[in-house]
Amino acid sequence: MNAAALEHDFSHNALTTLSEEEELFRSSVREFAEGEVRPRVEQMEHNAHLDADLIKQCFELGLMAIETPEEYGGAGSSFFNAILAIEELARVDASTSVFVDVQNTLVTNAIIRWATDAQKLKYLPQMAERKVGAYALSEAGSGSDAFALKTKAVDKGDFWEISGQKLWITNGNEAEIFIVFATVDAAAGYKGITAFIVEKDFENFAVGKKEDKLGIRASSTTELILDGCKVPKENVLGEVGRGYKVSIETLNEGRIGIGAQMIGIAQGALEAALNYTNEREQFGKKISDFQAVQFQLAEMAIDVEAARLLVYNAARLKDAGKSFLKEAAMAKVFSSRVAERVSSKAIELFGGYGYVKDYPVEKFWRDSKIGAIYEGTTNMQLQTIAKLITSGK
């Protein structure tokens, strides 16, 4: 069964049925993923960085500005289409997927929603055409407790002076535009948090160490060092002291993007397992003919479809302007578990071959693990879900 046929078989229900426009968009992203991303995956994984030409192609195809209005050089498309792109890319390579994901669901999304007209006019065209964005919230002592920030911003009259260190910044090496969160008043707690648009060439700003990671190895994860970084007054994103709203509301949408990345990983692992079990022979017949193997494949398919339904539902709610906080949290928790479970089972179905890097499934498993950690750990999502359901929301 080829990949196109396999995907079609998993799309016969109301929620995952796509419009003609959405189907065409997904097909174009899949063609790009198969034709341009897949041939580069092994080398990018080995080198632990994204191919420069591939980054350029992501811009040329409009994948870096899916929701950006056309007046700013973007595609003017939907959040749901961004989710489709993230899923299709992750089916082939999670590193490329999260590169596109952060640009769309976090950075561009925050600017579209919170920036002034002047900021939009300045930054959105750049990010649609050539410049990569990154989202800088996390610090050494500020992970799940996202607002325990130590990075400080001091009003110097003509500019803000920001000092501190950020960790775990996706796209850190490639980015030229950063959304940086800092506190302007530590005594005010979360109400002192402010978001700033920081450019890579601003004075006293530097990208530090790149992390050597288990998975998504081609995606750069770095520290940022701000040592009295001078940021123009007009680069406050949103209002002073309202950065917590920028952060919370952007990350709520970003979690749906991570869900899409996870279902892409799971889909890729399932397809690899199906193809392998249809080719591998033991005891005189294909191992996919054994009922025990068939049942395992069936369980994997159920998991992937259930996760896809949760992710698509959250994305549809967001586009419809309806509440999606609980649904986004559910989608992220479940899809990250599914990605890890399905990719692990795929390794077992490959046998010894699944454990070596000559075959793709061990990479799917390594890439899946981050889903339970970034953009809100599983425990934090469970806390959100529990709070909402116990309050009747």
The residues assigned a catalytic role are: 375
CA-CA-CA-CA torsion for 273, 367, 323, 110, nearest 10 degrees?
-140
Distance, in Å, from the CA atom of 174 to the CA atom of 199, rounded to the nearest integer, reads: 12
Residue 292 contacts by C-beta under 8 Å, 6 or more apart in sequence?
Answer: none
Query: How many C-beta atoms lie closer than 10 Å to residue 144's C-beta?
Result: 12
Q: Which residue's entry shows tokens 């080995």?
A: 46
Count the alpha carbons within 13 Å of 322 in the hemisphere toward its beta carbon: 10
Distance, in Å, from the CA atom of 256 to the CA atom of 245, rounded to the nearest integer, reads: 18
Asked whether the beta carbons of 375 and 255 are under 8 A apart, the reply is: yes
Helices 243-279 and 325-350 pack at an angle, to 10 degrees, of 30
Give the pair of three-digit tokens for residue 356: 């070596």
Residue 90 contacts by C-beta under 8 Å, 6 or more apart in sequence?
Answer: 97, 98, 260, 261, 262, 263, 264, 265, 268, 367
Sign of CA dihedral 349, 355, 359, 362: positive
List b or e across 180-205, with b for residues whose CB sees 16 or more CB atoms inside 10 angstroms.
bbbbbeeeeebebbbbbbbbbebeeb
Distance, in Å, from the CA atom of 77 to the CA atom of 65, rounded to the nearest integer, reads: 9
Distance, in Å, from the CA atom of 282 to the CA atom of 294, rounded to the nearest integer, reads: 14
**DSSP at 297:** H
Distance, in Å, from the CA atom of 273 to the CA atom of 7, rounded to the nearest integer, reads: 14
